[in-house]
Structure 1
Amino acid sequence: MRIYLDNAATTPLDPAVFEAMKPFMLEDFGNPSSTHAHGRKVRAAIESARKKIAELLNCTPGEIIFTSGGTEADNSILASGLQTYGVQTIISSPIEHHAVEHTLQILAAQRKITLRMVTLDDKGHVDMSHLEALLQENPRALVSLMHANNEVGNLLDIDRVGQLCDQYGAYFHSDTVQTVGHYRHNLGALKVHGIAAAAHKFHGPKGVGFMFIRKDKKIQPFMHGGAQERNMRGGTENVYGIVGLAKALEIAYRDMDDHKKHIEQLKISMIGQLKEQIPGVTFHGDSDNLNRSLYTVLNVSLPESEENDMMLFNLDLQGISASGGSACSSGATTGSHVLGALYPDSKRGAIRFSFGKYNTQEDVDVAVKKLAELVKVPA
């Protein structure tokens, strides 16, 4: 039996989510843009889902725009935000997800916009003093900083960044793909103008997500060709995906406290066992600090060894599914840009274990045992 410890890449679909989706796969098949009864029934389901998500996040239904996932949401907010507000300077960090990093590089090159990178400390956290200095030098900039890093798990003080952006008139976008469904977001109070989410990160279906666009900071459409999503995103909606997304988020909020407690115990256990069984093991970023990192992610730093290049492959052979970085670029031949930015000269190995609500203590015990057997520590 295989053990799945790559939940930051994607999570298994909750059976209750699948049950909520089924009628819209088989029976309620109308096009939500149609005015007849078949279409109206499906339209009502979409709007009910939008209302539920808005209630959970404390925003208005009109501020939720459904997308194909986090990458589309990030691209839409960044590209359209720059165009709408005539931004001349972008402030970001070198460890953003490629959906942000690559998009900003392209936009900066195409539009001759200045791209400034905020300094990170030795653990990979944003230097708030440097961020404020950049905002002072570049008023009315666009700031894009992720709420939690998908590889090392570092959490951003998103409230503090929002306050700084508000103080200096900056447009604030945050990739919240790793935190929506795992942390509670009060968008009515948080000073952020746009966030991104993907259902498959919290036991919903793949291929659907949403962006939150604050009503007083609206942007121009990114995708054209129809009046769907309040004229903000052309194309027929992914109806059963949207229904599944709302159900998954509802379950996540209902059970969040219990799941957080359960998963934190698994992470604590893995940290302790790894320290006991693998001499010289450390942790990348701040992933072993439960107060400053995702409770769902642990990025393990293994002692330098020729065996490290094959570690993920060998773990896979042992029935353990984990990753070495961002799953969205798992086919790339280059290493992690996040670890490269934080540890440019390091030759240590990296394994990202990420936990979900279906993981057990036995999963952790077996994974640590297998990893300890595979690690070759120099004499």
Structure 2
Amino acid sequence: MTAGIKKRIYFDHSATTRVLPEVEEAMVPFLTEKWGNPSSLHAFGREAKIAVEESRKNLAMLLNCDPTEIIFTSGGTESDNLAIKGVAMYKGKMKGHIITTKMEHHAVLEPCEWLKRFGFDVTILPVSQDGLIDAGEVERAIKNDTILISIMMANNEIGTIQPYKEIGSIARDRNIPFHTDAVQAIGKIPLDVKADNIDLLSLSGHKFHGPKGIGALYVRKGTKIEPIIQGGGQERGLRSSTENVSGIVGIGKAAELARRDLEHTSQRMKVLRDRIIKSVPELVPRSYVNGHKTRRLVNNAHFRFDFIEGEGLILQLDFKGIAASTGSACSTGALEPSHVLLAMGLTHEQAHGSLRVTLGRENTEEEVDYLLEVLPGVVSKLREISPFNEKRPMSPGEGGSCVQ
């Protein structure tokens, strides 16, 4: 590695993030000393209950909602399932129309597919070549029996930020609940569920420096949903199970830090992201930026490279001490190309040659220097052995963007 780079470099923060020291410090007492059940009436239980409610307040402050509108879950996937199935199945109704998009996480698409088996009608809207949904298309897709609109705030693979405010306004005007998967947006976009007309919002702790295995669903007062887990009636009866107190404390602390540091960390990541997006097409021939040039998360840089396989690229970068990704970590091991890239109109071959670089608050200029130093040689080496290589001369600066 270059001088000053003596450790592995992590550029995969959309897959997961490191638990911050402040978060760990807040959690440890609830694993070792304060182990009470929040439902218990004695001092141990009351102590745990107070901690849970304090964390609920921290999340509410992050989203600008009432603490009673926060439901703790096991993560983003459960939150998405609770939002979609909960609205659809409320009071046993077995029909209705749902609107979503081809870009959604599988935690949204799969519940929608599951509901189709019971007679629900699902419209899956297309996206543009830069991964954006047209808010007008959402409005035109609404039917008399539409019961839910579920469209993510920001994409987990290419970082495109959807027009969620416009969609929220459309949904509010038509009195249709609007759910958004904001798992990737926390800590990167200022959130205000009231102003943005959001009725249900999913988030996951480990995506913003909290622990794994804990998430939350914001449910606006008056939004009717059915629990999908029955039991002891915790979380206002919407999510039964003894509370994961240490995890809840962790996500609460992470929410506090995300809110406190949002402006500083966002600007810092944006500077590094912009440098990567500008430099890679200049340094690597036949490389292209995936996603919208400006409407994207501050930490996301996503590329495709002609004539190589993304898996080989990731392994070679890992050998050089750089951790990155081809796309969604939730689909690791799948041989199929990214459904997100296919939805944007890329071919199977193009989608396979992708690289996702996602920054975190702790990445440095020196780490970006090293990535930009290593990447051209790695791509060139892979192309030399690629059966897809056209064997024609390519010069630096020949790359570009898949958006105009």
**TM-score range for the pair, normalised by the shorter chain length:** over 0.9
Which position in structure 2 is the counterpart of 1:299?
A: 302
Spell out, residue by residue over 1:128-155, the C-alpha distance to the aligned partner (whole angstroms, 9 max, x if none). 22211111x3453311100000001110
C-alpha deviation, 1:62, in angstroms = 0.9
Which position in structure 1 is the counterpart of 2:250?
A: 244
Which position in structure 1 is the counterpart of 2:132?
A: 125
C-alpha deviation, 1:371, in angstroms = 1.4
In structure 2, distance between residues paired with 1:331 and 1:309: 10
Alignment counterpart, residue 327 of structure 2, candidates 325, 328, 338: 325
In structure 2, distance between residues paired with 1:333 and 1:372: 25
Corresponding position: 1:217 with 2:202: no
Contact 2:327 2:355 in 1 (8 A): yes
Contact 2:81 2:108 in 1 (8 A): yes
For 1:169-318, what aligned pairs fall within 5 Å after superposition? 169-286=175-292, 289=293, 291-302=294-305, 304-306=306-308, 308-318=310-320
Counterpart amino acid of 2:357? F
Alignment counterpart, residue 146 of structure 1, candidates 147, 152, 175: 152
Structure 1 unaligned runs (5+)?
Answer: none
Which position in structure 2 is the counterpart of 1:99?
A: 107
In structure 2, distance between residues paired with 1:106 and 1:83: 12
C-alpha deviation, 1:307, in angstroms = 5.2
Counterpart amino acid of 1:202? F
In structure 1, distance between residues paired with 2:178 and 2:262: 26
Contact 1:141 1:169 in 2 (8 A): no
Alignment counterpart, residue 41 of structure 1, candidates 40, 47, 55: 47
In structure 2, distance between residues paired with 1:15 and 1:318: 27
In structure 2, distance between residues paired with 1:120 and 1:53: 31
In structure 2, distance between residues paired with 1:346 and 1:322: 21
Q: How many residues align?
A: 373
Spell out, residue by residue over 1:43-96, the C-alpha distance to the aligned partner (whole angstroms, 9 max, x if none). 111011112221232111110000001000000110010011745111111110
In structure 1, distance between residues paired with 2:334 and 2:275: 32
SS for the counterpart of 2:302 is: strand
Contact 1:182 1:202 in 2 (8 A): no
Contact 1:307 1:375 in 2 (8 A): no
Which position in structure 1 is the counterpart of 2:338?
A: 336
SS for the counterpart of 1:229 is: coil
Give TM-score, length-normalised by structure 2: 0.89
Alignment counterpart, residue 89 of structure 1, candidates 83, 97, 101: 97
Contact 2:103 2:339 in 1 (8 A): yes
In structure 2, distance between residues paired with 1:308 and 1:202: 26
The 3 A distance-change label for structure 1 pair 301 and 143 is same
Give TM-score, length-normalised by structure 1: 0.95
The 3 A distance-change label for structure 1 pair 40 and 156 is same
The 3 A distance-change label for structure 1 pair 167 and 321 is same
Counterpart amino acid of 1:350? S
Contact 2:126 2:343 in 1 (8 A): no
Which position in structure 1 is the counterpart of 2:3?
A: none
Which position in structure 1 is the counterpart of 2:386?
A: none
C-alpha deviation, 1:343, in angstroms = 2.7
The 3 A distance-change label for structure 1 pair 186 and 358 is same
Percent of aligned positions with the same letter in both sequences? 39
Contact 2:11 2:358 in 1 (8 A): yes
Structure 2 unaligned runs (5+)?
Answer: 1-6, 384-390, 393-404
Spell out, residue by residue over 1:318-356, the C-alpha distance to the aligned partner (whole angstroms, 9 max, x if none). 111111110011122222111122134252310000000
Alignment counterpart, residue 365 of structure 1, candidates 344, 369, 384: 369
The 3 A distance-change label for structure 1 pair 129 and 56 is closer
